[in-house]
Copies of this chain bind each other. A is one copy, B any other.
Amino acid sequence: MPSEPMSADPMPAEPAETSARPLTRIQKRNIEAILDAALEVFSAQGFRGATLDQIATAAGLSKPNLLYYFPSKEAIHLELLSSLLDDWLAPLREMRAEGEPRDEIMRYMRRKLEMSRAMPRESRLFANEILQGAPRMGGTLAVELKVLVDEKAAIIRGWSAAGKIAPVDPHHLIFSIWALTQHYADFDVQVRAVLGPGHDPYTEAERFLDTLFDRLLRP
């Protein structure tokens, strides 16, 4: 216990990103296991549907031990949401005004579809949160997300005006990419139930969405 007075910060739990002390090997392992287990459970059951016991069991820990690393159920959920938002928005951030317009949009769509395929749990976690009115993300949505989307919408509008792509409402174009790609993760059971066995939804979806956006954007 070097240098610090013992009066302030008695917190033993969760030496998170703001703390100075580096993470123990055990801390790293357990925190990672907890977050992975929590993602599994929260995405499948929603926030209120998930229980600490479920998460603890899935992480291979006891409930009090889990609460040694995180102060509350809410804290785990929040940590998941905030750390995921960056990954989730990264593909859109990479859309460059200098690129070839159709390529840029198609690449964005494909990357989003690939994320739905590779990270369905994350997609469902967000879907659950938004569905219930985004009680823990409302602010972020209205600021950070809006700024990013407005910026990219302006780029798309420029491409439309320059005749590089067919005229489209840029905001709703982005919404359509979200809706169409996330649908395959969020409604996975429905898609598979309707298609029946012997289908690979994502392979078919990629072909379909390629066609769809090609016909939509071709000038």
**Chain A residues close to B by CB (< 8 Å):** 44-49, 124, 127-128, 130-134, 138, 141-142, 145-146, 149-150, 166, 168-169, 171-173, 175-176, 178-180, 182-184, 186-187, 189-191, 193-196, 204-205, 207-208, 211-212, 215-216
Contact = CB atoms under 8 A, between A and B. Distances in A.
Identical copies in the complex:
2
13 contacts: A45-B132, A46-B49, A46-B128, A124-B131, A130-B189, A131-B187, A133-B189, A141-B193, A145-B194, A146-B196, A178-B183, A179-B183, A216-B216
A130 B190 CA distance: 7
A93 B183 CA distance: 22
Contact of A48 (B45, B134, B146, B166): B45
A1 to B, nearest CB: 42
Given A172-B205, A179-B183, A193 B124 contact: no
Contact of A169 (B145, B196, B208): B208
A170 to B, nearest CB: 10
A153 to B, nearest CB: 9
A194 B216 contact: no
A17 B15 CA distance: 58
